[in-house]
Amino acid sequence: MTINSIELFAGAGGLALGFSGHDVTHKAVVEWNTHACNTIRLNKKENVKPVAHWPDVTEGDVRSFDYEDLKDIDLITGGPPCQPFSLGGKHGGFLDVRDMFPQAVRAVRETSPRAFVFENVQGLTRTSFKDYFDYILLQLEFPSLQADATEEWLTHLDRLRQHKTSGALNEYRVKWKLVNAANYGVPQKRMRVFIVGFRTDLGIDFEFPEETHSQHSLLLAQWDSGDYWRRHQIIKRDQPVRPVGIERVLDVIKKSRTVNQLAPWLTVRDAISDLPDPETDPQASLIQAHKFQPGARIYPGHTGSPLDEPAKALKAGDHGVPGGENMLRRPDGTVRYFTVRESARIQTFPDDFIFQGSWTETMRQLGNAVPVRLASVMAERVCEYLRAAEQQALDLAA
């Protein structure tokens, strides 16, 4: 079963790439940022799969996008701009003109897809945004219950809450979960909220995918068995200093019932160790977007990502790239910026994926992206439920 999808707020295409790997056909890909659109266009022109099979990207404001010609849509996916809710941003929330959740709701209302998946930052779940997060979820449950032209959102929220408590049947069953990308095989500690909804008539009780990786397993591989260092051929004198108190931590881990049931977290070293050092190795220039960027420095709160841990969450930044989040910190304490290719590895983009724009613009695209691996894990589960529902419908009709 081919699943027809619309990708909104596409950015450089991380979420769309993850879904494309599960026989999802994109009928529209919408993005307003010119640099991100040019990245998608370049990959399409260079016949990079699966982008080569996507429709031409629609560059423009999603508020002007017309869904009239898009019929029989199974799925809507997208990451509405996260700056209004970002922990590192201005915290404007619903007062921020960049809040595009109303457009996510409009897309669901006007196309009635069988399912939707929206991704956003952890900040959306903060206490100060509780009412607005409830408002987003209730609108997605009851998309046809629109706000009146002059109705304030808090008034509309009250009306939605009353509608739900009255026993009205929701149009979509909506669930959300805060996840750490590192727990799903991404070499990055990136906290993100996923909101998933299925049309109620499908009878689906969705469960999010189980975690596959853990910090505990990484600590055991590094400081108990030593498998991690042997795999990377790191001799003892070149290993980081053994953490103080690690024996007690390992003892607690080994007594846990869940020990060894999950794979180790992937680290920066896991992600980039086969790439030549861009600062010292001339061979680095032969790899696309693997160019040394000078100027990295440590300052309070920005100390870089240790080589033998998952990276800190890559950041897009308001006026460029914050240094600390997008730097590699070597075991000897020296730092340098990640190259574009290394950042793409950390965001689990394929090596043949090409980024368009300056270093700053490209890093902004990567900082805003959904890790492809995380998108793929979510896509696999969502598509599994959709196909099972389709097969059940066919069996009942037979």
Please report the pLDDT score of residue 343 as a whole number: 97
Q: Which domains does the chain have, with CATH numbers?
A: 3-210+370-397 (3.40.50.150), 213-261 (no CATH)
pLDDT of residue 82: 56
pLDDT confidence of residue 314: 94
Number of H helices, E strands in the chain: 12, 14
Burial of 150 (0-12, 13-18, 19+ CB in 10 A): exposed
Residues paired with residue 77 on neighbouring β-strands, in sequence order: 7, 117
Query: Cβ neighbours of residue 142 under 8 Å, at least 6 residues apart?
Result: 160, 163, 164, 168, 170, 171
Q: DSSP secondary-structure letter at 215?
A: H
**Rounded to an integer, what distance in angstroms lies between the CA atom of residue 143 and that of residue 278?**
50
Its pTM stands at 0.94
Coil vs helix vs strand at 311: strand
- The C-alpha atoms of residue 169 and residue 161 are separated, in whole angstroms, by 13
pLDDT of residue 58: 98
Structure tokens at 78: 């997208």
Sign of the CA dihedral with 74 first, then 120, 9, and 61 last: positive
Q: What is the pLDDT of residue 324?
A: 56
Of 11, 1, 15, the C-alpha closest to 348 is 15
Contacts by 242-251, CB closer than 8 A, 24 or more apart: 246/219, 249/219, 250/219, 250/220, 250/223, 250/224
∠ CA 61-64-70, nearest 5°, is 110
Name the residue among 382, 381, 369, 380 with its Cα closest to residue 74: 382
pLDDT of res. 15: 98
Specify the pLDDT at position 300: 82
Q: Note whether 8 and 103 are within 8 A (CB).
A: yes
Contact (Cβ atoms closer than 8 angstroms) between residue 208 and residue 179: yes
Cβ of 367: how many Cβ atoms within 10 Å? 19
H/E run at residue 194 = strand 191-199
| Positions in the chain whose pLDDT score sits under 50 | 86-96, 319-323
State in Å, rounded, how far the first CA of the chain is from the last one.
17
Token pair, residue 185, equals: 């095989």
- Between the alpha carbon of residue 20 and those of residues 4, 213, 378, the distances in Å are 10, 23, 12
Region of 42 on the Ramachandran plot (φ > 0 left; ψ -120 to 50 alpha; else beta):
alpha
